[in-house]
Amino acid sequence: MRFALLPVAGVRAGMRHAARPEWLLLWGGLAALYVPTLYRLLTEVWNKPAQAHGPIILVLALWLMWRKWQLLRAACGGDRPSGYGWMLLAPALLLYVVGRSQQILLFEIGSVPVLLAAVLLLKHGPRALRLQCFPLFFMLFMVPLPEAVVSALTMPMKLAVSLVTEKMLYAAGYPVGRQGVILQAGQYQLLVADACAGLQTVFTLEAMGLLYLNLVRHAAKLRNTVLALLIVPVSFAANVIRVTVLVLVTYYLGEAAGQGFIHQFAGMVLFVSALLLILSVDGALGALLPFHAGGKRARAVPAGAGQHE
């Protein structure tokens, strides 16, 4: 795997370019729109455990955009700005106005990638938008989902995780039973909560898997496609591992241990197990699909290295 380092001169040139009056006006306008939104997210939304992934998604999305910025200028230096950006700018501002005035975060935050896409089209053209397509898509993972959608999808997921956990532990010889989303492990009862197997958890794991896929970017398109499809069952398996660990900790160490510090540590177990599962699946796909259509062995190609997309 090769990584291309940007020359210092190119970074300084990009900083001078960003300091032009029109860019200062643009960034000032974006700040006026979204700094109050960011403050609301930090104080009302992202301070909750179910939405703690929000700031991480934002930082990663901005980093992904920054690492492609010099490549964007090199690839799109002669590209003409596109008037189609106005067709995106109008609905983006409408989304923002409606979301801000009616306190609908889905619209208010959802307007961010649409507005940035419009700016890219207006300033740099279609090729710039193609280069920044994934970072803009990645931003969607920080958009808080409506409670009705979360509630409707979370219960079936919790039931499925509870069922698989019960079957696995019972097959391993543990005295485990289940009633709905309540697991009975010996003398202890454990409720599988939304934070353990809910939609938001799977949403975060999906984002992590897609980020890994974008950074690795194998030359074999079939391998990328299959890995992207397998991110969903990998996320489910990681949730099963987390709940299984909690049940075993409670069974051996008692309820206080299961609900205390080790319960918080289970969040780390979730992400570590998800990462290990993704790496394992990726390695297995590399062994099963070692060649792409051209007959050459597939290799990892970092995003933006030696290509203009």
Give the model confidence (pLDDT) of 126-150 as tens digits: 888 888 999 999 999 988 888 777 7
> What sign for the dihedral angle of Cα 286, 289, 291, 292?
negative
Domain boundaries along the sequence of the chain: 8-139, 147-288
Which amino acid appears at position 137 of this protein?
F
Say yes or no to pLDDT of 178 above 80: yes
* Alpha-carbon torsion, ordered 226, 151, 200, 233, to 10 deg: -20
| 10-14, 39-43, 210-214, 251-255: segment of lowest average pLDDT | 10-14
E strands present in the chain: 176-179, 182-185, 188-191
Among all chains, which residue has been given the structure tokens 């710039």?
128
Catalogue the active-site residues.
196, 242
Distance CA 140, CA 36 (A): 19
Asked if pLDDT for residue 118 goes beyond 80, the answer is yes
3-class DSSP assignment, residue 162: helix
Look at 183 and 205; give whichever has higher pLDDT: 183
> Does residue 262 carry a pLDDT above 70?
no
| DSSP one-letter code for 45 | I
Q: Is the pTM of this model over 0.85?
A: no
Long-range contacts of residues 145-154, Cβ cutoff 8 Å, at least 24 apart: 145/106, 145/199, 145/200, 145/203, 146/106, 149/199, 150/194, 150/198, 150/199, 150/200, 153/199, 154/194, 154/197, 154/198, 154/199
**Is pLDDT of 81 > 90?**
no
For residues 158 and 165, is the Cβ–Cβ distance under 8 A?
Answer: no
Return the top range by mean pLDDT from 17-21, 113-117, 148-152. 113-117
Cα(234)–Cα(278) distance, rounded to whole angstroms? 7
